[in-house]
Amino acid sequence: MPTEHTDHGSRQDPEKQSRLAIALMSRWGIEGEQAARILGLAANCDALPKDTQKILEAGGIPHARLSHLLGIHARLRQIYPQPDVCYAWMKKPNGAFEGLSPVEVIDRFEIRGMQMVRAYLDRALHH
């Protein structure tokens, strides 16, 4: 029996993925410079999150970051089907991350932080 493919990187075009990732920043309550850092954009990106088109014209969001962010979101939706719980989880302190919130882990450790959060959610989903 085939399993559901949760790596959104191969299923959607980069523009659509970038738009989804930018929308996630808003839903997760991440704004301004922090959102730009997490998305791999210049920290002084005035376009975020107001002008998605400028971000796309500047080359968009790096693929690895898109893949991890959308993967994190997919796992959260599976674990927490209630949108308010799903979106709030990202900013709640978590003992698994020494009291840091998942957003803080991602902001501090960048791609490695995304991998840590995604691995945590994979374990939670499969146990």
Residue 45 in 3-state DSSP?
coil
Reported as a single tens digit per residue, the pLDDT across 8-21 is 444 567 788 888 89
Reported as a single tens digit per residue, the pLDDT across 66-90 is 999 999 999 999 999 999 999 999 9
The structure's pTM equals 0.82
Spell out a b/e string for 26-52, using b for 16 or more CB atoms within 10 Å of the CB, else e.
eebebeeebbbbbbbbeeebebbbeeb
